[in-house]
Amino acid sequence: MDKTEFAFFRKQLGKTQREMSQLLGTSIKAIHSYEQGWRRVPVHVERQLLFLASRKNCNEHNQVLCWEMRGCPEDRREQCPAWEFQAGELCWFINGTICEGHVQTSWKEKMESCRACKVFASRF
C-alpha cells in the first residue's frame, strides 16, 4: 500500500490522522510518515485499514461470495479457508485462500492477486 492509497482509505473512513492513529493502535507520527511516504505501511496496518474500509462499505447489495463470483469448483472450495469459515466476502483478508488455483505464499503476493480480482474490487 502506498501513501496515496493509505490517505484515500483514511479519508474514505472520514477519520483525521489522530483518529486513524487511535483506530490502528499506532502513533500519529506513524500516520504522518505513511502519508508522506517516509515509512512503508506495515502489512498489519494495511490489513486492518482494508478490513475497516470494507466494513464501512458493507451493505446487503454487495455481499459477494468469492466462490460464486469466481465459479470455484467444489473440490477447491472445500480446501479453501474462505469457504470453511463462510467468509466469501472477506476472501481477500484471509490468508491461505486458494485463488488462481494455488495458495499465495505471502501477503504481498496475495494482495497482487486480490487487487486484480473483481471480488476485492466489489468491496471498495
- Counting the structural domains of the chain, the total is 2
CA dist 76 and 36 (Å) reads 41
Q: Domain containing 8 — which CATH number?
A: 1.10.260.40
The DSSP symbol for 100 reads T
Average pLDDT, the chain: 89
20 and 68 fall within a common domain: no
Model pTM?
0.78
75 and 88 fall within a common domain: yes
8 and 50 fall within a common domain: yes
Percent of the chain, pLDDT > 70?
95
Which structural domain, as residue segments, surrounds residue 95? Answer: 61-123
The yes-or-no verdict on residue 121 having pLDDT over 90 is: no
113 and 77 fall within a common domain: yes
Q: Where are the alpha helices (DSSP H) in the chain?
A: 3-12, 17-24, 28-36, 43-56, 66-70, 74-79, 81-84, 107-115, 118-123
**pLDDT interval class at 61 (50, 70, 90):** low
89 and 118 fall within a common domain: yes
42 and 68 fall within a common domain: no
